[in-house]
Amino acid sequence: MGLALSLVCAVAALVSAARAAAMALPGRPQPWPDHLLRRTAATLGWAAGAVYALGLAGVAWSEAEVGDGADSTPAPACRMGFDPETIKGLTHHRASYLPLRFDCVREDGSVYVSDPDLLWMNWTWAVLALTAALLFLGLHYRAELRARWDAVR
């Protein structure tokens, strides 16, 4: 489900990016700056959704592997690719979907991250979503400023 959502968002981001790039071609809709801002914000919003959905799929996959057959507890994501000293005393895991995290917990209470890629995914989708929101707000603020300017003239 998460991978399908990521794929849909990625395709939508590509379509939005193509629509934003089309603003450079002759015959573009007027007022073109408004359309360009709207299409760029949509592209960034869909890209944020794609990155978040990809990370969500990774966390959900790691969560689904726990308790699924022999040798599945503690979480395979906490054991695979780590040296024996790191996984020594591993008891359980903690998963979080906002922010995306899959932490492995030892007996002494110390924690280590099972997938360091989730860190850049969190920052990437957050920055893309924030930028998209700021562009949408800027678009509406721009329209308000234009209306005030026309009222003064």
Q: Is the pTM of this model over 0.85?
A: no
Q: Determine the average pLDDT of the residues in 121-133.
A: 95
Tens-place pLDDT, residues 59-99: 888 888 887 776 667 788 888 888 888 878 888 888 899 99
For residue 128, name the pLDDT band (cuts at 50, 70, 90): very high
The whole-number pLDDT of residue 53 equals: 92
pLDDT at 72: 66
Q: What is the helix, strand, coil percentage profile of the chain, to 5?
A: 65, 10, 20
Question: What is the crossing angle of helices 32-65 and 117-152, to 10°?
Answer: 160
Q: Are 51 and 125 in contact (CB under 8 A)?
A: yes
Query: What percent of the chain clears pLDDT 70, i.e. is strictly above it?
Result: 96
Please report, in angstroms and rounded to a whole number, the separation of the first and last CA atoms in the chain: 54
pLDDT at 71: 66
Domain boundary assignment for the chain: 2-152
User: From edge to edge, which strands make up the β-sheet containing 111-113?
Assistant: 90-97, 100-106, 111-113
Residue 49 has what pLDDT? Answer: 92
Q: What is the mean pLDDT of residues 118-135?
A: 94
**According to the model, what pLDDT value does residue 1 have?**
66
Amino acid at 12: A
**Percent of the chain residues past pLDDT 90, beyond the cut:** 21
